[in-house]
Structure 1
């Protein structure tokens, strides 16, 4: 595959968007997915790709200290882990710029800690190397069509606008989609070069990038490129066709310096065309130009590649309470769990994961697609469906749990009914509690007979700042 690779794992911070899961300061990287820390999935992907030198970039010294302690005391594997902290609220491009001195390999991969995938990274890296690319992004198919999530007359939400070449190898257009953006401007040079572009919103960026070392030079020359996804990748895609003769137009001191959002300013080699508004809810929109394609092999050009995962491959990021809950339930599918490296031993007869040490009372039922961790106790007539229960959980009698995640040492007394909830470590639900679409913070007690809908039940949060390394 070429020279040895390094990995930069953006480990984030406490994950402010996941409150109350982070109420006690537990880093995002150590939150449980199928009863094992989130970080273990990314590390396994790197181990499979035989990338041994891994830099863990953490937001804030407190997060770095906790992840360093976990790596020292809990991690068992062949990777060489080194932890670096960056200031809280650092965006991903800024964080990469700050740790550049620790990157010595000619090529490296940047990956977010919150991604869980069964895509083999070695395939992505091999494609990047063989194409001699400056950057290669991992794309996957969105689970749901944006059309089903969009009201008539409104642009699709939380999508990337992507155009690939005819072979689906090269990124020729890439724009993340802030909700405030109503119009997408296409560079005229790009449209002239390719003749016809199909802008797609059915692909998602997974924040995994294989990068050439030269990209670090771009980051240092362009301090305004704060985010890898929002700034750096659009910038590289826009300027990948710069020939050797025109390279001076892209230098930081040139009058043609592009702006931070990737749109060229006056004097640059690719002027934007007219604004094209994408049809609301559309997965595809095509635009044509009569000019013939320009030779892609022109000397001095760089290459921004795309690696598109197969539709059946799994890519999911735990960036919200909803996705945290969904991913927990999805990865305990027995077949998928095997591909992702879930450590628990499956019960093939019942298509679930119930540890041998679990005590199950009379007439209790754990359905397929569930996980119950070691040391848990279920009373009589309990029903567990599409849920994950952590180690040492204790359930009384007549407890019903549907579409829930219970972390370690949760106590649920008799007659409780839970649906679409996340119950954090050490929480206690007294008798006959009814919760739907709720989150219960660590160590919180819900009073007997209480009924709650769509609420966060937690102790008053301490003053804190967002500590994610942003995309």
Structure 2
């Protein structure tokens, strides 16, 4: 999404005229959280802090933790917080937009005393079919293959399509305990993880793990069925050559009292054998799959664009305390202009005569001239669109100036651009090349 983030931090990209990061923060507030740590790049700290605290007046206590602008992985960022994490931790990406109630995740986590519980969701078909605005490119498959037990909530296998070969191999010990494994490829990892405190402790000692999603979680899933290293040392091995790296199972030991309660309880998590609860696995990975409602990661152009189109339908549900109207009271809509019910027009915006806005989001302090057509598009703040223009299926960045009778279809217009009158643009990314980041 570098076409959009060259002049605006990803966390502040507008979705339904709210900054993207507001949605996970709002979800935490709805669930009753009183404090959260926000990891931000050093260069974006002031801007994000001002947006959340001063502009949107988030009531929850936010502790901002800046990290260097170099390429740190998500696990690297979490590792730096070890000293500030005192109990189980909930990790959420800034691009997650969902109407889910977090107690569903917490219930699974507590029921099975899970080491990690993740949120997965089915991907709506429109997000798969829609072509993103901008230059046409070949779709890259980013499927995850996730194996579940017969109940459908314990994760037994997890791998990305790129890491898989023609066959998948399972240990006999896994198949003996779980003869039924249901592997699904149509689920999205939502980057929401509820983790035990010991996972963070282990992460702090394992510098090789850089990514939560692609490295830490698959590693935990795999280690569920491994056995702890023997405590007795090998008498034939030199003390110098002995591996002193802490074993993950030395971190996952349970509280003695909790373990005694578990042994005395008659509750068991499986059927069909006489083995102990959880098959005596010390590491346990579970998932909650959100089948209904709204759950999307706005981490691609197509997902970001479609999320903006869908958000007017659910915004009132996820933010019941906000007074939300399709047309802000401080916006001006002149005679014979039409604004659809699935649109949002923000404060300070002016819509000229005989113009129409359908399935579109229009930001603050925009000026749209007479006889303009805006459809299936995202118009950010302080955009000037002069008379007779047509904008369809596009994303227009802030402070853009579009002159008379321009036709823009399926394009991305970067912040601060100026388009000449009578211009016709289709499937283009109109951005500052020197502001783009090479990958």
Query: Normalised by the size of structure 2, how large is the TM-score?
Result: 0.82
Deviations 1:429-465 (CA, angstroms, capped at 9, x unpaired)? 1000001111112221100000111112233433657
Q: Report whether the alignment pairs 1:235 with 2:219.
A: yes
Q: 2:50 aligns with which of 65, 69, 73?
A: 69
Structure 2: distance between partners of 1:223 and 1:375: 50
Aligned residue number for residue 422 of structure 1: 395
What SS is found at the alignment partner of 2:181?
strand
How has the CA–CA distance of structure 1 residues 245 and 430 changed in structure 2, closer, same or farther, with 3 Å as cutoff?
A: closer
Structure 2: 5+ residue runs without aligned partners?
131-138, 234-241, 249-271
1:245-256 to 2 correspondences below 5 Å: 253=243
1:437-448 to 2 correspondences below 5 Å: 437-448=410-421
Asked whether the 8 Å contact 1:55–1:82 carries over to 2, the reply is: yes
Structure 2: distance between partners of 1:187 and 1:254: 29
Structure 1: distance between partners of 2:50 and 2:35: 18
Structure 1: distance between partners of 2:44 and 2:128: 39
1:345-364 to 2 correspondences below 5 Å: 345-346=323-324, 353-364=326-337
Asked whether the 8 Å contact 1:195–1:293 carries over to 2, the reply is: no
TM-fit CA distance, 1:157 = 2.1
1:324-403 to 2 correspondences below 5 Å: 324-333=304-313, 336-341=314-319, 345-346=323-324, 353-403=326-376
How has the CA–CA distance of structure 1 residues 82 and 75 changed in structure 2, closer, same or farther, with 3 Å as cutoff?
A: farther
Deviations 1:380-414 (CA, angstroms, capped at 9, x unpaired)? 21111110001111111111111100011111111
1:1-400 to 2 correspondences below 5 Å: 17-19=1-3, 21-24=4-7, 26-58=8-40, 60-87=41-68, 88-105=70-87, 107-144=88-125, 157-178=141-162, 181-183=164-166, 185-188=168-171, 189-243=173-227, 253=243, 297-299=278-280, 301-309=282-290, 311-333=291-313, 336-341=314-319, 345-346=323-324, 353-400=326-373
TM-fit CA distance, 1:170 = 0.9
Structure 2: distance between partners of 1:248 and 1:63: 51
What SS is found at the alignment partner of 2:279?
coil
Structure 2: distance between partners of 1:147 and 1:355: 32
Which consecutive segments of 4 or more residues in structure 1 shift more than 6 A? 145-149, 245-249, 254-258, 291-294
Higher strand share: 1
Asked whether the 8 Å contact 1:225–1:231 carries over to 2, the reply is: yes
TM-fit CA distance, 1:129 = 2.2
How has the CA–CA distance of structure 1 residues 148 and 54 changed in structure 2, closer, same or farther, with 3 Å as cutoff?
A: closer
Corresponding residue pairs, total: 398
Aligned residue number for residue 264 of structure 1: none
How has the CA–CA distance of structure 1 residues 424 and 342 changed in structure 2, closer, same or farther, with 3 Å as cutoff?
A: farther
Deviations 1:45-77 (CA, angstroms, capped at 9, x unpaired)? 11122222211112x310223223334423423
What SS is found at the alignment partner of 2:168?
strand
TM-fit CA distance, 1:213 = 0.7
Asked whether the 8 Å contact 2:224–2:281 carries over to 1, the reply is: no
Structure 2: distance between partners of 1:342 and 1:297: 40
Aligned residue number for residue 259 of structure 2: none
What SS is found at the alignment partner of 1:235?
helix
Q: Report whether the alignment pairs 1:431 with 2:404.
A: yes
Asked whether the 8 Å contact 1:332–1:371 carries over to 2, the reply is: yes
TM-fit CA distance, 1:218 = 2.5
Structure 1: 5+ residue runs without aligned partners?
1-16, 150-154, 259-290, 348-352, 467-471
Structure 2: distance between partners of 1:201 and 1:145: 17
How has the CA–CA distance of structure 1 residues 145 and 167 changed in structure 2, closer, same or farther, with 3 Å as cutoff?
A: farther
- The RMSD of aligned alpha carbons is 3.0
